[in-house]
Structure 1
Amino acid sequence: MEWIDLLQTTTDRFAEVLEGGDLTAPVPACPGWTLADLGEHTRWVHAWAAHAITAGTPDGDTVAVGTDRAALVAGYRAAASTLLDALRTTAPDDTVWTFGPEPRSIFWRRRQTQEVTIHLYDALASQGREAEWSISPELAWDGVDEVATLFYPRQIKLGRTAPLQGTVRFVATDLDRSLDLGEGEPVAELSAPAADLLLMLWKRKPVEGDAAAVLATAVVAP
C-alpha cells in the first residue's frame, strides 16, 4: 500500500470539502458535530500524530484554530503537511510512539490514512455528497482488518467494552478475503463489498440480521 500517496490525496480531498462546504452542516455519524468541528478534530489528530512521530510521546496538543473558514482550512492543511513531512523523513521501521502493539512509524502511515479516509466520508455526508466517496477494495479491507486486529482488542483491553457475544464472519465480495470478529465459530456472516463492510464497522452504514444482533453486544471501535 502506498500510504504516503494515499494520505496526501485524501488530506487534499478533505481540505477541499472544508474549503467549499457548509461548515455549519451537521455530521450524521458524529452527533452534535458540524463540518467545522470535524475539520478541527481531524486537524488536531494529524498534529497529535506528527508529535508522536517526531517527539516520541503521546503528549502533543495544539490550540484550536477556530471556525473561521480561512483559519480552519489553513490550519488543517498545515497539520496535514507537518504529518506528511514527519512520515516522509521517518523510515517505516523507525521506532516512534504509537498506541499499537509495535512502536514503528508505519503504524501512523496506516492509521492516519484510515482516519482521514473515514472522516472524508463524514465530511461528504455532511454535505449530502457521500456518493462521491470511493476507495479501493484493498484500502477498505485494510481498514476492516485494522478494526478487527487493533481497535477491537484495544477496546477490550482498556475496559471500554465486553467481548462480543458471538462471532461474525466478514466476507468481502469484491476480494477473495474474509475474517472472523470474535471468538469461536461464526454465528452470523456479513457479505458485502469491502468499503461497505468498513462503513458498517465504523457505524456509518446500518447492519441488519443476525450480524447486527451480535455486533450490538460490544463497542468494536471507538
Structure 2
Amino acid sequence: MDTASYLRCFLRELDGFRACLTKGDLTVPIAYREDPDYPLDLAGLAARVGAANLFVAATVTDFSGADSPPDGTPPKTPDDRAELVRWVEGTGEVLVMALDTEPGTPAWGFYTPPNAGHWQRSIAVETMLHRWDAEQALGEPGPLDPELSGEGITEVFDVLAPRQIGRGKAWPPDACIRLDATDTEDWWTFGPGDPVAEVRGTAADLLLLLRGRKTAYDEAFAWSGERNTALSVLKGPLT
C-alpha cells in the first residue's frame, strides 16, 4: 500500500471511530487493554486515539535527528461528548497533514526504519483496531479491511515482534509456524526452519489473534501440525 492508501484507510477508520463516540455510551468498558491492570472505557480510548494521533504527527513534524521522542504527555481531553468528537477529528487532521509526505521522510521512531512510512502503516492499522474495539464494546463490531489487515500482520512479524524480543520482553521463537489468510491468499512464517504448524483464517481474524483480540481457540481458526508448539511461539508478547 502507498501513502495515499494508508491515509485513506486512516480517515475511514477514524470516521468509524468517531461514529462510535457520537452515538455510543462513553462509559462502556473496552475489552482489550494494553495494560491488563488499567481498565479503559470508550471515552478513555478516545483520549488514547487522539493522543496517539498527535504523537505520531510530532514524530515527523518535530523530528530533529535526536534520539529522544517527541513529548508524549497525554493532553487534557474534553469531557463534553461533542467537544470530544471535535477534538478527535482535529487530531486526525493534524496527523494527515504531517504524514502526507514521502514514506522515506525521516521521522523519530521506536522501530526500524524510523521514517514516515512506518507511521503511515502503523497508525492506519492501529486506528482500525481501535475502531473495532469501540464497535465491539457497543455490540456492533464491523469488518476489518483484508488488505490493511495483511499489512498489520506483516508489521507484527517484521517490526513489533523483533522489538519485543530485542527488549527482552519475548523469547525468540524456537520453531516456525505458518499463517495462511484464506481470503487474500497471503501467508507468513515466523520462526526458524520449516513450519511445524499452520493456522488458517481470514487476514482480519489472524490480525485480531496476533494483536490480542481473539484467542487461538476461536472457531475462526483451523489448525494443523504441532499446535502446542505453535501456541508457545505465539505466546509472546509479540506486540
Q: Same fold (TM over 0.5)?
A: yes
Q: Secondary structure at the match of 1:26?
A: coil
- Partners of 1:168 and 1:67 lie apart in 2 by 46
User: Match of 1:214, as an amino acid?
Assistant: S
> Is 2:37 aligned against 1:37?
no
Supply the distance in 1 between the matched residues of 2:79 and 2:173 (Cα, whole angstroms): 39
Match of 1:64 in 2: 76
Alignment equivalent of 2:119, drawn from 108, 111, 120:
108
* Residue 86 (structure 2) pairs with residue 74 (structure 1): yes
Q: Identify the residue that residue 204 of structure 1 maps to in structure 2.
A: 213
- Consecutive unaligned residues in structure 1, runs of 5 or more: none
Cα shift at 1:215: 4.1
- How do residues 108-127 of structure 1 correspond to structure 2 at under 5 angstroms? 108-127=119-138
Q: Percent identity?
A: 31
Distance in 1 between the 2:41 and 2:175 partners?
35
Residue 179 (structure 2) pairs with residue 176 (structure 1): no
Partner of 1:11: 14
- 8 Å Cα contact 1:167/1:182 also seen in 2: yes
Distance in structure 1 (CA, Å) of the matches to 2:173 and 2:45: 29
Report the secondary structure of 1:28's partner residue: coil
**Partner-residue secondary structure (3-state), 1:187:** strand
- Computed over aligned residues only, the root mean square deviation of the Cα atoms, in angstroms, reads 1.8
In 2: Cα distance, 1:206 partner to 1:135 partner:
17
Q: Structure 1, residues 134-157: CA drift from partner, whole Å, max 9, x if none?
A: 233221111111111110000011
Deviation at 1:12, TM superposition (A): 1.3
| Equivalent in 22, 27, 31 of residue 25 of structure 2 | 22
Long gaps (5+) in structure 2:
218-222
Residue 195 (structure 1) shift = 0.7
CA contact (8 A) 2:78 2:87 kept: no
The corresponding residue for 2:220 is none
Q: What CA distance in whole angstroms lies between the structure 1 residues aligned with 2:155 and 2:163?
A: 11
Superposed displacement of residue 218, structure 1? 2.1
The Cα offsets for residues 114-143 of structure 1, whole Å up to 9 and x where unpaired, read as 11011111010110111xx22332211111
Q: Deviations over 1:8-45 (max 9, x none)?
A: 11111111111111110011112511111111111111
Shift of 1:59: 2.0
In the alignment, is the contact (CA less than 8 A) between 1:27 and 1:33 conserved in 2?
yes
Cross-structure match for 1:166: 175
1:54 paired residue number? 61
Q: Secondary structure at the match of 2:59?
A: helix
Amino acid across the alignment from 1:184 = G
Match of 1:219 in 2: 237
Letter in 1 for 2:93: S
Alpha-carbon distance in structure 2 between the residues aligned to 1:178 and 1:23: 38
What secondary structure sits across from 1:170 in the alignment? strand
Whether the aligned pair in 1 keeps the contact of 2:210 and 2:234 (CA below 8 Å) is no
